[in-house]
Amino acid sequence: MKLLFINGPNLNFLGIREPEIYGSRTYADLVDYIKAFCADMNIEPEIYQSNHEGALVDKIQEAYGRFDGIVINPAAYTHTSVALLDAVKAVGIPTVEVHISDVSAREGFRQVSYIREACVATVSGQGFEGYKTAAKIILEKQN
Ligand code: DQA
């Protein structure tokens, strides 16, 4: 089982940005956390972060035919990007949308998710653990 983990803009600033919302653990901590649960779950992960919308589209396209699933936290592009929605639809790979914070309890503009309609599930408000929940959802759908 090969899973691609994608993180969008400003998630490289975890631990620095708004710790009251996103916590004090860093992006490096997130990468370590993902690697650890993937080792336990027999998942081969690739982990990618970019602040650039087009780079995220390129990464999703490159996954075509190469990955069994995608776990994506599109960050702010969740609320703006038709291009990411189209990319996920184009590759047809089971994809789960993840948010560290509970977006449903935040500002009105965060209630819109363009990518959601192309995703098999959304996991929100579970912190880093949400990435593991997302991986489990893809694993269960495969079996
Ligand atoms: C986020 C929520 C988004 O609204 C925000 O723009 C982010 C992070 C989250 O993980 O909670 O950058 O996706």
Residue 100 Cβ < 6 Å to ligand 1: yes
Question: Which of ligand 1's atoms lies nearest the C-alpha of 102?
Answer: 11
Of 60, 66, 5, residue with least CA distance to 37: 5
Residues in the chain: 143
What would the pLDDT profile of 84-108 be if each residue is shown by its tens digit?
999 999 999 999 999 999 999 999 9
Q: Is 103 in the pocket of ligand 1 (CB under 6 A)?
A: yes
pLDDT tier for residue 143 given thresholds of 50, 70 and 90 = confident
| Domain covering 2-142 assigned CATH 3.40.50.9100 in the classification | yes
Map tokens 């990435």 to a residue: 131
Per residue in 40-83, pLDDT (tens digit) is 999 999 999 999 999 999 999 999 999 999 999 999 999 999 99
Instruction: Give residue 142's pLDDT.
Output: 85
Q: Please give the helix or strand (H or E) that residue 91 lies within, else none.
A: helix 82-91
For residue 64, indicate whether it is catalytic. Answer: no
